[in-house]
Structure 1
Amino acid sequence: MSILKIREIQKEDNQQVAKVVRKVLLEMGVPKVGTAYEDEALDNMFATYQKPRMAYFVVEEKGKILGGAGIAPLIGLEENICELQKMYFLPEARGKGLGAKMMDACLKFGKSQGFKQCYIETLPYMQDARKLYARSGFRSLEKPLGETGHYNCTMWMIKDI
């Protein structure tokens, strides 16, 4: 039985995290433009999440990063709304309750930073993720919020925290 550990990202995790996110996005058939795939931050996640009111958590097993998720102010609505960002898991990490645990860690952090709501963007075919979000209390929105630049993400959800 191996031990899975959720912890904050470290500088030496950058390469593994970028690889995990891009691999999952390709697996899901996500467009490479207008999504997290082309975000500049992806190659330096540690530095990106060192700013105020931001955190990125990873799931590690025996030194291998299996997934991660971040929380940050929603650009354009920074004061009260945070955004759940780049939550992706390799196939071997799925179905173990890690998504719920990771989201809980992110939401607790967001609440501790004074945010009142959490926003997420997703895609229609990411059905397992959308089910998790709905089970966790997220509700659908009619249009996007903020200025994420992810114009290919066509589903938006929000939750009070």
Structure 2
Amino acid sequence: MQINYRDFIIRHWESGDRAAAALVIHSVLTEYGLNWEPDGADKDVLQVENFYLATGGEFWVIEQQKSVVGTGAYYPIERGQNAVEIRKMYLLPNARGQGLGKYLLQQLESAIAARGFKEIWIETASVLKEAVKLYETSGYQAATGVETHRCDRVYVKFLPSDRPLF
């Protein structure tokens, strides 16, 4: 899979992307005053094969001029009915403000819907104001039951079962 958006390329993660993807996530978390947790909430980016690929999920990287500038992923969860959680949706500052976040979210939603999932869950932190705004303006509803301790918000979106999302 390769999706082009402006001068960005969205593609499937490859094992050679591990360090670059981790660096993007670490950088954005630090920028917003959140902790990088390689043995906790961020273990999944260091073990993409186990957390995403082996469970029926996907992990994508976003490149600009051959450098990884963002990530986005999802995997099936037990929280809802036929549900997934979107995770690791991070963009470096130079990749923001161009509609890429919204486009990435739409592409993730389309991939999730095409695979027959019915619910999308997202956890985030209030300090990630741009992310909160994106989810709230993209049809996600506030829910309860945050499972990641650095997060204080959880959202859910129910997908239509009989028509394409976009």
**TM-score over 0.5 for the alignment?**
yes
Maintained 8 Å contact 2:59/2:73? yes
TM-align CA RMSD: 2.2
In structure 1, what is the equivalent of residue 16 of structure 2? Answer: 12
Maintained 8 Å contact 2:51/2:75? no
In structure 1, what is the equivalent of residue 164 of structure 2? Answer: none
In structure 2, what is the equivalent of residue 42 of structure 1? Answer: 45
Q: Could you tell me the percent identity over the aligned residues?
A: 27
Match of 2:73 among 61, 65, 70: 70
Maintained 8 Å contact 1:14/1:46? no
2:61 maps to amino acid:
V
Shift of 1:43: 1.8
1:160 maps to amino acid:
F
Structure showing greater relative contact order (alpha-carbon pairs closer than 8 Å, 6 or more residues apart): 1
In structure 2, what is the equivalent of residue 105 of structure 1? Answer: 107
Shifted more, 76-85 versus 123-132: the winner is 76-85
Question: TM-score scaled by structure 1?
Answer: 0.85
Equivalenced residue count is 154
Maintained 8 Å contact 1:68/1:102? no
In structure 2, what is the equivalent of residue 114 of structure 1? Answer: 116
Correspondence 1:135 to 2:137: yes
In structure 1, what is the equivalent of residue 152 of structure 2? Answer: 154
Change (3 A) 1:23 1:36: farther
In structure 2, what is the equivalent of residue 26 of structure 1? Answer: 30
Shift of 1:42: 2.0
Question: TM-score scaled by structure 2?
Answer: 0.83
* Gapped regions of structure 2 (runs ≥ 5): 1-5, 160-166
Maintained 8 Å contact 1:70/1:84? yes
Maintained 8 Å contact 1:56/1:69? yes
Give runs of ≥4 in structure 1 deviating > 6 Å.
Answer: none
Match of 1:96 among 95, 98, 106: 98
Maintained 8 Å contact 2:80/2:119? no
CA offset digits 1:8-62 (Å, max 9, x no partner)? 11111111000100110011111345x9974322223355421243011111012
